[in-house]
Amino acid sequence: MNDEAGSVAFRLWRDRAQLREEERNEALARLRIAHEKVAILMAENERLEAENARLRALHAPDESITQAETDLQMEALRGALLPLITQPTGRLNA
């Protein structure tokens, strides 16, 4: 009976070791899947960042154009204000 008890204990130990190995393999498989999902999400994020940069570049005005527009607006404002500033003061009192 001693051999039978040893055989049962060995089978239980072997079954438990096999169960632990299966659990480890399943955990490793889930880890691989998670790594793949992270890689996919990172690639998508990089693609979206590139698309965002491209769209921003399309909508961002060229600095030289912006400066030219500002200069034109300032010149128009100067042209409109200069006659008001240089008017004789007597005219304002009338």
Lowest mean pLDDT: which of 2-6, 41-45, 90-94?
90-94
Q: How far apart are CA 33 and CA 40, in angstroms?
A: 11
| Exposure string for 50-70, b = 16+ CB within 10 A, e = fewer | eeeeeeeeeeeeeeeeeeeee
pLDDT in tens, 40-88: 999 999 999 999 999 888 887 777 788 888 899 999 989 888 888 887 7
In this structure, what are the phi and psi dihedrals at residue 62, rounded to the nearest 5 degrees?
Answer: -70, 135
* pTM of this structure: 0.53
Instruction: Count Cβ atoms below 10 Å from residue 44 Cβ, excluding itself.
Output: 10
Residue type at 19 in one-letter notation? L
Cα 67 to the center of its chain, rounded Å: 31
